[in-house]
């Protein structure tokens, strides 16, 4: 593992919980999306914040003994995979896959990386079959909020490659 500023931005692929017009980091458990569980543990009443739409955001660590993110022996930093599965898993209606561009300090792991800075580039047009709550418009709503395109898998990978190095 290395933690060094990279010369060229890296692109990666990840999933978010797309809800209320925002893209949230979090986990999927038993068909439900749980935003930012690490933050919920240290600050149960903290407001859950989506990835910002208007600015790049520096990653923060929610561990008790904080440090600058990303940190090698931790989970902090904006995380993404190098590669996008052919049929990415959709564990809940909120699940939205997309591409990010990342820069600054980056911790590289086997299947992906964690970065100091990142922003969403585009969303994958791959949706949960039965999304009643947002009437199938969840991805369109998020793409519009972030002013990013909604693309097929091939288009997404090509588009990502224009913004940084694709290692997947």
Chain positions contacting Zn ion, by CB under 5 A: 61, 63, 71, 74, 76
What phi and psi values does residue 39 have, to the nearest 5 degrees?
-65, -40
Minimum Å gap between C-beta 116 and Zn ion is: 12
Q: Considering the complex, what minimum distance in angstroms separates the CB of residue 107 from Zn ion?
A: 10
Q: Do the Cβ atoms of 61 and 68 come closer than 8 Å?
A: yes
Nearer to Zn ion, 74 or 145 (CB): 74
Nearest to Zn ion of 53, 63 (CB atom):
63
CB of 15 to Zn ion, least distance (A): 21
Cβ count near 64 (within 10 Å):
7
Considering the complex, state which of residue 27 and residue 74 has its C-beta at the smaller distance from Zn ion.
74
The Cα 63–Cα 71 span in angstroms is 11
The DSSP bridge partners found for residue 3 are: 107
What's the closest the beta carbon of residue 60 comes to Zn ion, in angstroms?
8
Answer for the pair 88, 99: CB distance below 8 angstroms, yes or no. Answer: no
Whichever of 26 and 93 has its CB closer to Zn ion, that residue is 26
Q: Where are the beta strands (DSSP E) in 9-147?
A: 10-19, 22-24, 26-29, 32-35, 57-58, 78-81, 95-108, 112-124
Residue 138, Cβ density class (10 Å: 0-12 exposed, 13-18 middle, ≥19 buried)? buried
- Least distance to Zn ion, CB of residue 73, Å: 8
Nearest residue (CB) to Zn ion, 64 versus 86: 64
């Amino acid at each position: 593992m290395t933690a060094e500023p990279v010369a060229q931005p890296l692109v990666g692929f990840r999933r978010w919980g797309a809800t209320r017009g925002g893209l949230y980091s979090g986990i999927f458990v038993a068909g439900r999306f749980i935003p930012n569980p690490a933050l919920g543990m240290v600050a149960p009443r903290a407001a859950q914040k989506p990835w910002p739409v208007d600015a790049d955001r520096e990653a923060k660590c929610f561990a008790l003994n904080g440090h600058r993110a990303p940190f090698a022996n931790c989970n902090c930093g904006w995380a993404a995979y190098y590669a996008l599965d052919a049929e990415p898993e959709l564990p809940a209606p909120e699940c939205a896959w997309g591409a990010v561009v990342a820069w600054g300090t980056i911790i590289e792991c086997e299947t992906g990386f964690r970065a100091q800075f990142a922003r969403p580039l585009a969303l994958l047009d791959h949706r949960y079959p039965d999304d009643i709550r947002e009437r199938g418009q969840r991805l369109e709503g998020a793409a519009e909020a972030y002013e990013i395109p909604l693309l097929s898998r091939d288009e997404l990978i090509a588009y990502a490659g224009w913004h940084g190095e694709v290692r997947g």
